[in-house]
Amino acid sequence: MRTSHLHTIYESKAGRAKYLALAIGGLVGLCPAQPASAQATHIVRLEMTPDQEIYRFVPARITVRPGDVVRFKVSSGGPHNVAFDPEPLTAEGRGALNAAMPNRSGDLSGPVLDRSDAEYRIVVPALPPGHYGFFCTPHRAYDMRGELIVVR
C-alpha cells in the first residue's frame, strides 16, 4: 500500500499537529475571504396605503452594487410590476438591464404581479454608477416610482 508524505508526517504526535495545520491551510485556500463588495439582498415593497390610496415603492430609493439582488415584493394594492425608465440608458445599459430581468412583459418591464406576497427578483447587472428610475406601469398615473442608485 502506497502512503503519502502527509500520511507519514501524521504518524507522530508532532506530525499530527503539522498535518492538521496543513489541512486547515488547504481548506482556507479553498475558501477565499469574501470581498468588501459582497452581494447584498434588498427588499422593496410595492404597496398602496388604504386610507389615502397612495401607491408607492418602499423604500423608493435603494443604493445597490452590481451583483446585488433586488426583491420587489407585493404588499398591497396590486396588481403591480416594475419597469425601468429607458431615457437615461445607453444601448449597452438597456441590454444589460433587459437581460437581468427574467420573464419580461416588454422592454425593460417585468411581469404583472397580481397577488399579495408575489415577488420579482433581479440581479443588478454591471451598470455604470448612476441613478436609474423605475415605476409601476399599472400605477404610473398615480406617480408610483422609485430609483435604483448604482454605486461601485
Position with higher pLDDT, 5 vs 107: 107
Are the CB atoms for 105 and 120 separated by under 8 Å? no
Which domains, from first to last, does the chain contain? 1-33 (no CATH), 41-150 (2.60.40.420)
Strand spans (E) along 15-68? 41-49, 54-58, 61-64
Position with higher pLDDT, 17 vs 111: 111
Across the chain, what does the average pLDDT equal?
Answer: 83
Q: How far is CA 46 from CA 2, 49, 140, in A?
A: 64, 10, 13
Write down the pLDDT at residue 102. Answer: 96
pLDDT in tens, 28-81: 334 344 444 558 999 999 999 988 889 999 999 999 999 999 999 999 999 999
Long-range contacts (CB closer than 8 Å, 24 or more residues apart) made by 7-14 = none
Which residues on adjacent β-strands are paired with residue 91? Answer: none
Cell 422609485, residue? 146
For 20, list phi and psi in degrees, rounded to 5: -65, -45
